[in-house]
Structure 1
Amino acid sequence: MKLSVKSLPKALHSLKARLIVSALLLILILMPLIGFTLNDAFKQQVKSASLNELKAYVYAVLAVTEVNTGGLSMPEVLLENQFNVIQSGLYAAITTPNTAVITGKSSNEFDAKFVENPQTLLYDRNSNSTGTQKIAWRSDSLLGIELPSQLPTPKKGQGQFSDITFNGQPHLIYSFSVSFELPATTDDDKHFNSQFPITIHIIKDQTEFQLQVDQFTQQLWRWLTILMGLLLVIQMTWLWWTLKPLSSLETELNAIENGKTNQLSDDYPTELQAVAQQLNTLLSTEQNQRKRYRNALADLAHSLKTPLAVIQSQTDLSSESFEQVSHINRIIGHQLKRAQSAAGSAWHLGIPVVSISDKLVRNLPKIYCQPLITIEQNVDRDAIFKGDESDLSEILGNLLDNACKAASSKVLLSVIHNTENVSAETLVLQVEDDGSGVDETLKAQIFERGIRADSYKVGHGIGLAIVRDLVDSYHGQLSIAQSTQLGGAMFTISFKY
């Protein structure tokens, strides 16, 4: 399945955002995974050490265990002192299978009553039963503690390590099964291979084990958290340093787009050096081509207007011919201005709107002084027109000129620059007057192709046709409505960048 950029969330369209998310995922997934792995490995290591410790205790108990005709014989005090201290946390017990019962006639004599296996003899004196097992001996540390009803019973010669809960606390238990051969006391006993199977159980409180694990877990996650924070800072610093050339390129492109500079610098890494050089070549070529194009059009306009001026100066020229020559002159001027527009090729140009609007607002009232026309302006001083200066001058000049012709006393110029949405930056130019407005029928005709704007009433002549063509060339929108503030016509032009 092919993953396209459009299918990604909007926030991940940024290369910087993708790298940041990748770094965060790497840290937030890899580090906890390492933490869980190390914690589990340490737990297994501690458990293995506990197993070895319990095995050593089993062999120590087994070394002092004796079985004779009198039964199981254990010393009163074991070498490991914790077995002798009541509820010390380290316990030992010996169980035998509950398959046969032996009752002793005296300390040295016994009679066997076989239950299931006549070869298995079990000693019953001073012991209690726990289901299928009989507890033959328990250490003094188990005094006052009731053992579980069923303890592990591995096969002979094998051990079993597991967890067990008794006395309300979790414990570790290691059980090891052995079998002692009973000595024969009579000639009949010699016919049987009499065995005395026992299982030695060493039980240890998990408090110490769990304390080690908890301390290690606490320190592990504390240091992993510090390491994650440190890695995050290093990753962000590394990403900032790595992506800094891209940010510089973006800044310089914005400066070119806003008309603050004409070329990119050459201070870029090897991977971006070729891109910067190609962009500079493209900018220079485009600027030179537009300059040559405008010069050629200016020469053409001059070569056409000179013969037309000569024709117009003829005294014997009829009024109809003079009107047609004037009409041709206007058409040439209009089409040349349209052809000279930099729209579509001036993406790198950026003109502050106030540089044009201030001049127009300052100069037009000098022309329209009878009656006096007041031009007010509400202009965003940071507004940028992304196009050619002469095009902006034509658009604002014609709109304000038409508004002054149609107004009674007041004209309002408003410029709104919306940059909150980077993906949909907008520039709105609005010109209002307090005149009689535009007829509804003419509003519809303005937007119809093939309808000439110079057929409109005074104040909305050929200048509006030039404005409309320039706005169309910049893919803008022109609308005409009634001004709610001044009552006359309101021309609104919006550009999306």
Structure 2
Amino acid sequence: MLSRLLHSLSGRLSLMATLVLLVFLAVLSGVLERAYRTSLDEAKAREMQLHIYTLLAYAEPDGDSLQLPLILPEQRFNQPDSGLIGAVMDSRGRVIWRSQSALSLPNFSAMPLPLPLRQGQQVFAEVQLPDMPTPYSSFRQGIAWGLDNERQFTFVVLEDAAPLHAQVRQFSGTLWRWLALGSLALIAVQLLVLRWGLAPLRSVASALKRMQQGGSDTLQGNFPRELVPLTDNLNLLIENERRQREKTRHTLADLAHSLKTPLAVLKGMDPMADPKGAQEVLAEQVKRMDSIISYQLQRAVASSPKSILRGVAIQPMAEKILSALDKVYRNKTVDAELLCGADALFYGDEGDLMEMLGNLLDNGYKYGGGKLLVEIANTSDHRGLEIVVSDNGPGLTAEQWAQVIQRGVRADQQQQGQGIGLAVVVDIVESYHGKIGVGASELGGAEIKVTL
């Protein structure tokens, strides 16, 4: 049962809230009981002090002792077993007077009472008298008598504490009954509040179930704003996964379709009739098939955007690519300048960023005139990205740009390569719902601008 509760979010919250509530109620009951007992003790102490003042009013000096009447106004002092006892001790702790109610205690005078008190001292405590089943409340007060306060007495009042204890027990029982009822009501309200508070999570789970059963393509519902980022990211992840699956299917279909023509050419050639021509055709078609396969593989691995990924630092990756290109084109002096802040981030797949930057910068090295300017910065909302690559090469017209972003078309047929680099960049940019375009740069060549 406990393990089932711990594996449920609502069960965990209910269990912890119930435990906290019970601990709070236990502490609260202890504090209330102590406060109630303290108030009763203070009231009882004031009441017993009034009894001492009554005894003082009737006390008369008799040498070194005191005399009190046999009959006192408080009738309980005059009745044996009344539960109220008065006594006076001298400075040596001897009982020199006791009330008629103490006659039921024949050994009262021989009882070990606490030491006498000095003038003005007051002590309220609970004591256990010999042969008595219940404890007694005791109030003692030191009194000095005479002109020079030379005679010290201690007035003592004892009262049966059983009614006080019964009052405390009654209060505790009533308190615990009401606290139990209150705790049950609070637990019921807490369960209702938890059920209401966790309803949005249940609605998300229901939306996921409906989507799994084919009821909808996305998570749909009126979710609270705290869950909107979660549902939006889930919808984005679902859409990206669907787009990637569709993209893979299309890529495989394109690959099959693209290979039909060279395969048909190979099937139709006659090596016996023209061996040399067949060899040339074979080499040409193999090269073409290799180009097609390379392009389709690069296109297939181009990732879809995932906005829930952590940001990828751009500056170190751009510097690494530029360093590698310097080695590749070591026979060509290229003055490359990178303007990219250390806080610039790309919110997507790291491989996409490397593929995109690698192709753009490689073209700048390959077709530029020796100068290259790379500017990279996040947009004002820190979620978008702008990449601008400028060179001092021959530049590109709109017609040339439309051609070079097509599959297998190179800007310069004299250069080596398969002509798929910019096409891959365009695919990646489109997968991030971005834009890519070309214009004239201030360096005199082409300026390719990517906005994601």
TM range (shorter): 0.5 to 0.7
CA distance in 2, matches of 1:245, 1:263: 16
Distance 1:216 1:152, change over 3 A: farther
CA distance in 1, matches of 2:250, 2:87: 110
Letter of the structure 2 residue corresponding to residue 235 of structure 1: Q
Distance 1:194 1:60, change over 3 A: closer
CA distance in 2, matches of 1:293, 1:196: 111
Q: Which runs of 5+ in 2 are unaligned?
A: 273-285, 287-292, 305-452
Match of 2:26 in 1: 32
CA RMSD of aligned residues (A): 3.9
Match of 1:202 in 2: 157
Letter of the structure 1 residue corresponding to residue 252 of structure 2: L
Query: How many angstroms does 1:299 deviate by?
Result: 3.4
SS in 2 for 1:162: strand
CA distance in 2, matches of 1:194, 1:176: 15
Greater displacement, 76-85 / 259-268: 259-268
Query: How many angstroms does 1:259 deviate by?
Result: 4.8
Q: Deviations over 1:92-139 (max 9, x none)?
A: 1111133xxxxxxxxxxxxxxxxxxxxxxxxxxxxxxxxxx2211111
> If each structure's helix is expressed as a fraction of its own residues, which one has the higher value?
2
Letter of the structure 2 residue corresponding to residue 158 of structure 1: Q
Query: How many angstroms does 1:310 deviate by?
Result: 7.7
SS in 2 for 1:277: helix
Percent identity reads 31
Q: Structure 1 residue 170 and structure 2 residue 135: aligned?
A: yes
Match of 2:419 in 1: none
SS in 2 for 1:97: coil
SS in 2 for 1:265: coil
1:366-445 mapped onto 2 (5 Å cutoff): none
Query: How many angstroms does 1:290 deviate by?
Result: 2.3
Q: Deviations over 1:157-210 (max 9, x none)?
A: 32211111112321111111213328xxxxxxxxxx684432211001111111
Q: Structure 1 residue 141 and structure 2 residue 106: aligned?
A: no
Query: How many angstroms does 1:23 deviate by?
Result: 1.7
Match of 2:124 in 1: 161
Give yes or no for contact 1:95–1:199 (8 Å, CA) kept in 2.
Answer: yes
Q: Structure 1 residue 50 and structure 2 residue 44: aligned?
A: yes
CA distance in 2, matches of 1:223, 1:10: 31
Q: Deviations over 1:377-418 (max 9, x none)?
A: xxxxxxxxxxxxxxxxxxxxxxxxxxxxxxxxxxxxxxxxxx
Query: How many angstroms does 1:18 deviate by?
Result: 5.0
Q: Structure 1 residue 75 and structure 2 residue 69: aligned?
A: yes
1:3-152 mapped onto 2 (5 Å cutoff): 16=10, 18-69=12-63, 71-98=65-92, 133-145=93-105, 146-147=107-108, 148-152=111-115
Query: How many angstroms does 1:286 deviate by?
Result: 3.0
SS in 1 for 2:246: helix
Q: Structure 1 residue 211 and structure 2 residue 171: aligned?
A: no
CA distance in 1, matches of 2:256, 2:192: 58
Match of 1:284 in 2: 239
Q: 1:241 aligns with which of 196, 218, 230?
A: 196
Give yes or no for contact 2:207–2:221 (8 Å, CA) kept in 1.
Answer: no
Q: Which runs of 5+ in 1 are unaligned?
A: 1-8, 99-132, 183-192, 318-327, 329-334, 346-497
TM-score, reference length from structure 1: 0.49
Q: 1:223 aligns with which of 178, 181, 188?
A: 178
Query: How many angstroms does 1:154 deviate by?
Result: 1.5
Letter of the structure 2 residue corresponding to residue 82 of structure 1: R
Match of 2:316 in 1: none
Distance 1:307 1:207, change over 3 A: same
Q: 1:252 aligns with which of 196, 201, 207?
A: 207
Query: How many angstroms does 1:90 deviate by?
Result: 0.9
Letter of the structure 2 residue corresponding to residue 177 of structure 1: G
SS in 2 for 1:249: helix
Query: How many angstroms does 1:15 deviate by?
Result: 5.1
Query: How many angstroms does 1:268 deviate by?
Result: 0.2
Instruction: Figure out how many residues of one structure are paired with residues of the other and give that number.
Output: 280
CA distance in 2, matches of 1:73, 1:285: 105
CA distance in 1, matches of 2:149, 2:185: 69
Match of 1:392 in 2: none
Q: Deviations over 1:223-270 (max 9, x none)?
A: 112222222222222122112212221332344346553210131001
CA distance in 2, matches of 1:49, 1:283: 73
Letter of the structure 2 residue corresponding to residue 211 of structure 1: A
CA distance in 1, matches of 2:219, 2:82: 80
SS in 2 for 1:143: helix
Q: Structure 1 residue 296 and structure 2 residue 251: aligned?
A: yes
CA distance in 1, matches of 2:167, 2:149: 46
Give yes or no for contact 1:179–1:198 (8 Å, CA) kept in 2.
Answer: yes
Distance 1:154 1:69, change over 3 A: closer
Match of 2:447 in 1: none
